[in-house]
Chains A and B, each alone.
Chain A
Amino acid sequence: MFDVKKYYDVDNLGVALSLLSKEPHLIVIAGGTDVLIKMQHGWNQEETELLGINRIAELKGIRMLDNGDIEIGALCNFNQIEEDATLQENIIPLVEAAASIGGPQIRNVATIGGNICNGVTSADSASTLFAYDAKLKLSTERSERIVPISEFYMGPGKVALESGELLTHIIIPKESYEGYQGRYIKFARRKAMDIATLGVSVNYRIDEASGCFEDLRIGLGVAGPTPLRCIEAEEYARGTKVSEEGIAGIAGKAVLSSHARTSWRASKEYREHLIEELVAEALLSITDGVRGEEDE
Chain B
Amino acid sequence: MEEKSNKVVGTSPRRKDAKAKVMGKAKYTADIYESGMLVGKILRSEKAYAYIRNIDTSKAEALPGVEAIISYKDVPKIPYALQAHQFSLDHAGQEDHLIFTDKARFVGDEIGAVIAIDDLTAKKALSLIEVEYEELEPSLTIEAALASKGPWIHEGREHNILSDLWGYEDGDVDKAFTESAHVFEGTYDTGYQQHCHLENHVSYAYMDSEDRIVIVSSTQVPHVARRIVGQALGIPWGRIRVIKPYVGGGFGNKADVRLEPIVAAMTMAVGGRPVILDFSREECMIGTANRHAMRIKIKSGVSEDGKLKVLQGEVLSNAGGYASHGHSPTLVAAGKFVNMYETEAVKVENRTIYTNLPIAGAMRGYGTPQGVYALESHVEDIVTALGLDPITFRKDNFIKENFVNPANGMITHSNGVRECMDRGRELIDWDRKKELYKNQAGPKRRGLGMACFSYETGIYPIAKELGGARIVMNQDGSVQLMCGATEIGQGADTVLAQIAAEVLGIPFDMVHMISTQDTDITPFDFGAYASRQTYVTGLAVKRAANEVKEKILRFAADEIVDLPVYMLDLQDANIVNKHNGQVMAPLDKVALASFYQVDRAEPTTSDVINNAPVNAYSYGATFTEVEVNMRTGKIEILEIFNVHDSGKIINRQLAEGQVEGGMAQAIGQALSEELLMHPTTGKTLNNNLLDYKLPTIMDVPDLGVDFIETYEPTGPMGNKGLGEPPTMSPAPAIRNAVLDATGVAFNRIPMNPQRVFERLKQEGLL
**Per-residue interface assignment for chain A, residues 195 to 210, with 1 indicating a CB less than 8 Å from any chain B CB and 0 otherwise:** 1010000000000000
| B672 close to A1 (CB less than 8 A) | no
How far apart are the CA atoms of A265 and B445 in the complex, in Å? 25
User: Is A235 positioned at the interface, with any CB of B under 8 Å from its CB?
Assistant: no
B408-453: which have CB < 8 Å to A? 440-445
A195–B689 alpha-carbon span in the complex (Å): 11
- Cα separation A1 to B123 with both chains bound (whole Å): 11
Q: Is the CB of A193 within 8 A of B754?
A: no
- A1 near B118: Cβ-Cβ < 8 Å: yes
- Asked if A264 contacts B676 (CB within 8 A), the reply is yes
Whether a CB of chain B sits under 8 angstroms from the CB of A29 is: no
Checking A189, A191, A281 against B752 with a beta-carbon cut-off of 8 angstroms, the contacting residue is: A189
Whether, in the assembled complex, B709 has its beta carbon less than 8 Å from a beta carbon of chain A, the answer is no
What is the interface of chain A, defined by CB distance below 8 A to chain B? 1, 3, 45, 103, 187, 189-195, 197, 264-267, 270, 273-274, 277-278, 281, 291-292, 294-296
Chain B residue at minimal CB-CB distance from A295 = B442
Q: Ordered nearest first, which 10 A-B pairs have the shortest CB separation?
A: A295-B442, A191-B698, A292-B443, A1-B119, A192-B696, A277-B631, A192-B698, A189-B693, A292-B442, A292-B444
Q: How far is the CA of A160 from the CA of B445 in the complex (A)?
A: 46
C-alpha gap A281/B697 in the complex (Å):
26
Does B754 lie within 8 Å of A267, measured CB to CB?
yes
Beyond the given A190-B699, A264-B676, A270-B754, could you list 18 further A-B residue pairs with CB under 8 A, ordered by the A residue number? A1-B119, A189-B672, A190-B672, A190-B693, A190-B696, A192-B697, A193-B690, A193-B696, A195-B690, A267-B754, A270-B633, A273-B766, A277-B631, A291-B443, A292-B444, A295-B440, A295-B442, A295-B445
Residues of chain A within 8 A (CB-CB) of B672 are 189-190
Shortest Cβ distance from residue B679 to the other chain A in the assembled complex, whole angstroms: 9
Contact A273 B442 (CB under 8 A): no
Is residue B753 contacting chain A, with contact meaning CB distance below 8 A?
yes
Give complex CA distance A179, B699 in Å: 35
Q: Are A264 and B698 in contact (CB under 8 A)?
A: no
Contact B444 A295 (CB under 8 A): yes
Q: Complex Cα distance A273/B632, Å? A: 8
| Contact among A264, A277, A295 for B632, CB-based, below 8 A | A277
- Is B685 an interface position by the 8 A CB rule? yes
Contact of B698 with A187 in the complex, beta carbons under 8 Å: no
Asked whether, in the complex, the Cβ of B120 is within 8 Å of the Cβ of A187, the reply is no
Where chain A touches its partner, the secondary structure class is: loop
Q: Are A189 and B753 in contact (CB under 8 A)?
A: yes
Shortest Cβ gap from B430 to chain A (Å)? 19
Binding site for A on B (CB under 8 A): 118-120, 440-445, 631-633, 672, 676, 678, 685-686, 689-691, 693, 695-699, 752-754, 757-758, 766
Q: Which residues of A contact B685 (CB under 8 A)?
A: 264
Instruction: List residues of chain B with CB within 8 A of the CB of A187.
Output: 632
A103 neighbours in B (Cβ, 8 Å): 696
Docked Cα-Cα span, A292 to B758, in Å, equals: 21
**Complex Cα distance A265/B672, Å?**
12
* Residues in A whose Cβ lies below 8 Å from that of B440: 295
- Whether the pair B120, A191 counts as a contact (CB closer than 8 A) is no
Knowing A1-B119, A292-B444, say if A274 contacts B696 (CB, 8 Å): no
Bound complex: CA A270 to CA B758 (Å): 8
CB distance from A107 to the nearest CB of B (A): 14
Q: How far is the CA of A190 from the CA of B633 in the complex (A)?
A: 13
Which residues on the B side are within 8 Å of A45 (C-beta)? Answer: 120
CB distance from A295 to the nearest CB of B (A): 3
With contacts A190-B696, A192-B698 known, is A3 near B120, CB below 8 A?
A: yes
B752's nearest neighbour on chain A, judged by CB, is A189
- Which of the residues A189, A191, A194, A270 comes within 8 Å of B757, measured between beta carbons? A270
Assembled-state Cα–Cα distance A270/B754 (Å):
7
Q: Which residues in A have their C-beta under 8 angstroms from that of B696?
A: 103, 190-193
Query: A191 → chain B, closest Cβ, in Å?
Result: 4
Closest A residue to B671 using CB positions: A189
Residues of A within 8 A of B632 (CB): 187, 274, 277-278
Listed residue (A194, A270, A274, A294) with the most chain B CB atoms within 10 angstroms of its CB: A270
Chain B residues lying within 8 Å of A278, measured Cβ to Cβ, are 632
A191-B698, A295-B445 known; A1 vs B120 contact (CB < 8 Å)? yes
* CA–CA, A270 and B634, complex, Å: 12
The CA of A103 and the CA of B696, in the complex, are separated in Å by 10
Asked if A296 and B444 sit within 8 Å, CB to CB, the answer is yes
Partner of B695, one of A3, A190, A273, A294: A190
- Evaluate contact between B699 and A273: CB separation under 8 angstroms: no
